[in-house]
Structure 1
Amino acid sequence: MNGQRFIRDTQEPKRQLVVLLIAVGVFFFILVTRLWYLQIIKAEDFQSLSENNRLRLVPVAASRGTIFDRNGAVLVSNRPSFSVAVIPQEVRDRDWLVDQLVTLLGADRDELVKKWEKGKGRARYYPIVLASGITRDQLELLEEKRLWLPGIEVEMKPVRQYENGTLAAHLLGYIGEISDEELKNPAFVGYNSGDYLGKSGIERSWEEVLHGHDGGRQIEVDARGRILRTIAETPPTMGSSLVLTIDAQLQKRAEQAFGDQAGAAVVMEVNTGEILAFVSNPEFDPALFAGRMPPEIWKQYLEDKRHPLENKALKGQYPPGSTYKIITALAGLEEGIIDDHTTVTCKGSYALGNTTFRCWDKKGHGAVDLRRALRESCDVYFYVLGEKLGIDRLSAYAQKFALGAPMGVGLDNEKGGLIPTSAWKLQRHKTRWFQGDTLSAAIGQGYVLMTPIQLASMTAAIATDGIVYRPRLVKRIIDRDGKVLREFQPEIITRADISPRSFKSVKEGLWAVVNESGGTGGMSRIPDVRVAGKTGTSQVVKLRDTRGFIPYQYRDHALFVAYAPYEHPEVAVAVVIEHGEHGGSAAAPIAGSILRAYFEGKGVIRRPVKAGKGTAAGDDGSGENATSDEGAQPREDQE
């Protein structure tokens, strides 16, 4: 009995020892396995994390390409701007750090957090831009607090310097930080949060050329974030530069000619399609859009009844008024409905059914032929001609000049105007075309719409007997050393199939508009150069009584188109003055100033002179609208 107890007493410690040994063995097996996993399987990952604790990737933004005018004058260059970025990996308490930045920068807390959240999908060691365009004072404060702000970096980024302030702002456009939607766009692969890109104008349409490619530096830092050395560096590649067709001096003179008036002007070489001046007035300051727009200025832009943010030269669609009579006259000549000697008696109005269509001159012009009808802008002459042509034949001749569609000037969101047809109205308005609609269209009213670019293109095509060039804004692309990468040549869109004889008859009428007694465009005359042109006044809204005060937004638009010299045309100009009321007195003088500046630049006119005197027929006219169910009726033209 005692022997059996002894055996049990000696076996019990052995079993405990075995269990202990097994437990120890399992423990060491797990330990070795874990060490093997960490040191062998995960070695590369932990090495990378270790490197990231002491190495940083600092992006280096590329400078955008410079923009020059046709003579080599710098229009847009670059200047340094400082941004605040954060490296999330090095931040333990985000809320505390954001609060510090709010205090130091005077920034909006919600905006900082929003930008931080935008960068969450990227590597935690990659910097996220939280604030751009900080001031020198803010930069100094950050540098003083740098050691107590873990993860904060100050980056230098080039932003745009507009050398002439607001000059050609709508043409050049502006840049801004890339948006969330743009980051998702495949067209912007490679862009990061905080990057700048073009938002409008040349900056937007030529973004791919101007942007360049960012570089970067890999640096070693100590535990406090101080730079010890540069490990590797990839230099940024500057974007290519653009040489525009614009003449900066002519652009400046054209903008000055507008003063405070709202409107647009386009100046074009008739034999190349190159745009020499591109005016949309009033201007805005493009530099403000690269940073945080002051709320008071933004409100001022939005509340200005002249709409300074609208690119009127590109997107403004206006009834061309009597400038469209050029097309109507060519159509009548080509169709054999009129010739140089065909006369129409104007008694101040024209009756069509129960509707009376008035001429701007209530007294009437008497018997008028084509030359006089153009010179004095007789509406009745063109009512009669339009009725005989019909809308579809009239529109077909407008389309010969590539009207009714965007001209392809090379800027985003160009409008195409409207050249109406009977089929268009049936499809668009579900009603047939009326004869009254045709009479309105014949004098550039009703449904007809054109942009200032189209007006300039039409005028240039008249000067060249029907050659329609594509309007161009860029002459060439060059690299940073001035080497030409691509040269753009004149491109003919179409050639209007119209006889030289018809062009000659219309041109003689346009010369008479400016140079003969009674011509409505006499205020565009300039010394030593003969100008041919056409005035126009387009109705904004249908007003029954114009004897009292008309609010600004309801006043007619004033237009003038011209080319010069008459004998050997070089340049065409189109001017639209919004709510300027009379083409002869409001738009023609501005066109004259622009043409004078052009020929002064060429040395043809050697001294500044006052605008030539002339008779702006009908400036004081007033009248009532005709009423009809057949479409909008023109008020008196008031050339």
Structure 2
Amino acid sequence: GIDDRKQLFHSLGELLDVDEEQLEERWQAGQGLPRYRPLPLLDDVGRQAMEKVQENSVDLPGILVEVKPFRDYPYGEMAAHLFGYLGEVTEEELGKSEFAGYRSGEMVGKTALENMFEDRLRGTAGKKRIEVNVRGRELRQVTTRAPLPGQRLYLTIDTTLQQAAEKALGDRAGAIVALDVNNGEILAFVSRPTFDPAWFARGITGEEWRSLVDNSQHPMTNKVLRGQYPPGSTFKMVVALAALEAGTATPSTRVQCNGSMRLGRSYEYRCWKRGGHGSVDLHKAIKESCDVWFYTVGLEAGIDRIASAAKRLGLGQKLGFPFGGERSGLIPNRAWKKKRFGTSWYDGETVISSIGQGFVLTTPLQLATMAATLANGGTVWRPQIVQKIVNLEGGTEWLLKPEKISETVWPAESLKAVKSAMESVVNDIGGTAWRSRLKKVRFAGKTGTAQVIKRKSDEEEKRDKGEEIPYQYRDHALFVSYAPVENPQIAVAVVVEHGGHGSSAAAPIAKAMYEAYFPDKTDGKDVAQQVTSGD
């Protein structure tokens, strides 16, 4: 036992420059523990402090030094939202049956993979029985048992691709997902801004925690799963397939774009290109991202057919990601609006839904799934992140099995027309992502620019021209893509929050990722050129 706690805390506080009140608080917090269990007073003290305590052990009766392993994150902040973080087990948790065998002060997985696989990653604690004298000083060790590490998790992440994605997004807010188009394996998973999981492993300070929760760009939110964004023009492939399937349009359907479309007498819906695109068919409509073609064709197809096509491409539903509170996005139809608002669906709502605005919301994971589904011809795969789990002996405890969510046989000519146009977006002059093309890896894609606030009138735009738009009102920049065009392997979706145009902010990120993923096919001469206009 400890005879004079006050004196002991005074000596320890002086030696390590620690507030005595802090030691007293930890003491009081641990009074519910059995007497034979050590009560943690200080964590993560470092080698110097440990040596000081050992050198002065005579004056610190009852104080033991315990060396504990800490979770190390060799890649720092990389994929932090995927790994999750650790935190000290709470008193509430200690009262639950699943935490039987845990001790106060121990670290447990709180979120993401750390939480989901806590029981497999934790391992078995070692044991040490010691003999002490009446003053609590260690005399000798009676028995010891070495700790055993937990099982090993092998992820589907491609490290090179992940690093390329993180580097390309940089300090901007947003999300990036890359998928294997043939089985749903996640190859890259980026949510920005991020956090350092090491902060949590060693015990996060109040100041560090505040810097995370007070950040207006939400570093603790897993935007890949929980960010819901209007897809903008990346939604146009959905509308095209819906119209082709219904027979309300064909690849050669032509619409005259003079810069806007009128609906009735009072509503005018503008194209992003003020002067218009002239006579437009499906190929040109996707390649140059003509809004008027999609307003017209979307209206003909109707919202219910568009919604049906969207669902079969992986949108508007949870895809079954195993953790992180995945959100379902929103694909509206007539029945949804009636149920949600008690009102009828209007034609104007179909018009704006046809360019991925209005009620339509998607997650970055869904956008990548949509691109992968187009690439593979119609199969929606469940996104998966763990490849296998291996035990200490090297035996495989669990192995990934690809899982189909749905399969749609789209008319071959329809799919061919849409994919050919996506190829032109990147590879042909006039395509909105032409400046992001690669010489040796042909990839297909679609840019998108999603409005955060209502579009201004022509008069307002003229009046406000040249003014700096506040960050929170700037458009989101999007890009969905797959590569190579022949025999696709990988799909990439990029969302840059308030990034402006998909062509200039999002497409170059996908380009950088494809350069990293197919290194043997690029010759180092591809130059990232910026484009300032376009969708």
- TM-score tier, shorter chain, comes to over 0.9
The 1-side partners of 2:455 and 2:284 are apart by 28
Q: Equivalent residue for 1:252?
A: 163
Give the one of 358, 366, 376 matched to 2:288: 376
The 2-side partners of 1:143 and 1:340 are apart by 80
User: Residues 294 and 585 (structure 1 numbering): CA distance in 2 closer, same or farther, change over 3 Å?
Assistant: same
Give the one of 524, 528, 547 matched to 2:436: 524
Q: Equivalent residue for 2:272?
A: 360
Under a length normalisation based on structure 1, what TM-score does the superposition of the two structures give?
A: 0.78
Q: Equivalent residue for 1:442?
A: 354
Give the one of 524, 527, 533 matched to 1:608: 524
Work out whether residues 443 and 483 of structure 2, in 8 Å CA contact, stay in contact via their aligned partners in 1. yes
The 2-side partners of 1:320 and 1:465 are apart by 21
Pairing 1:542–2:454 present? yes
The 2-side partners of 1:139 and 1:220 are apart by 20
Work out whether residues 420 and 447 of structure 1, in 8 Å CA contact, stay in contact via their aligned partners in 2. yes
Letter in 2 for 1:482: G
Total equivalences in the alignment: 527
Q: Equivalent residue for 1:329?
A: 240
User: Residues 107 and 160 (structure 1 numbering): CA distance in 2 closer, same or farther, change over 3 Å?
Assistant: same
Pairing 1:342–2:253 present? yes
**Bigger mean CA deviation after superposition, 129-138 or 571-580:** 129-138
Q: Equivalent residue for 2:64?
A: 153
Q: Equivalent residue for 2:508?
A: 589
Under a length normalisation based on structure 2, what TM-score does the superposition of the two structures give?
A: 0.93
The 1-side partners of 2:154 and 2:364 are apart by 23
Work out whether residues 525 and 613 of structure 1, in 8 Å CA contact, stay in contact via their aligned partners in 2. no
The 1-side partners of 2:432 and 2:182 are apart by 27
Work out whether residues 377 and 409 of structure 2, in 8 Å CA contact, stay in contact via their aligned partners in 1. no
Q: Equivalent residue for 2:231?
A: 320
The 1-side partners of 2:172 and 2:311 are apart by 31
- Deviations, residues 63-117 of structure 1 (Å, cap 9, x unaligned): xxxxxxxxxxxxxxxxxxxxxxxxxxx2234444444444444445555444333
* Aligned pairs (5 A) from 1:352-501: 352-353=263-264, 354-501=266-413
Letter in 1 for 2:389: I
Deviation at 1:613, TM superposition (A): 5.5
- Deviations, residues 499-536 of structure 1 (Å, cap 9, x unaligned): 22221111011111111221101133112121110000
Give the one of 88, 94, 105 matched to 1:177: 88
Work out whether residues 496 and 505 of structure 2, in 8 Å CA contact, stay in contact via their aligned partners in 1. yes
Work out whether residues 213 and 236 of structure 1, in 8 Å CA contact, stay in contact via their aligned partners in 2. yes
Letter in 2 for 1:268: L
Deviation at 1:339, TM superposition (A): 0.7
Greater C-alpha Rg? 1
The 2-side partners of 1:513 and 1:403 are apart by 22
Pairing 1:569–2:488 present? yes
Work out whether residues 12 and 60 of structure 2, in 8 Å CA contact, stay in contact via their aligned partners in 1. no
The 1-side partners of 2:2 and 2:454 are apart by 65
Deviation at 1:366, TM superposition (A): 1.5
- Deviations, residues 312-338 of structure 1 (Å, cap 9, x unaligned): 222211111110111111111111111
Q: Percent identity?
A: 47
Structure 2: gaps spanning 5 or more residues: none
Structure 1: gaps spanning 5 or more residues: 1-89, 621-637
The 2-side partners of 1:155 and 1:550 are apart by 56
The 2-side partners of 1:528 and 1:393 are apart by 38
Deviation at 1:402, TM superposition (A): 3.1
Q: Equivalent residue for 2:196?
A: 285
The 2-side partners of 1:163 and 1:228 are apart by 38
Work out whether residues 205 and 412 of structure 1, in 8 Å CA contact, stay in contact via their aligned partners in 2. no
Divergent runs of 4+, >6 A: none
The 1-side partners of 2:6 and 2:226 are apart by 46
Letter in 2 for 1:265: I
Deviation at 1:359, TM superposition (A): 0.7
Work out whether residues 322 and 444 of structure 1, in 8 Å CA contact, stay in contact via their aligned partners in 2. yes
- Give RMSD over aligned pairs: 2.2
The 1-side partners of 2:421 and 2:379 are apart by 20
Deviation at 1:199, TM superposition (A): 2.1
The 2-side partners of 1:521 and 1:468 are apart by 25
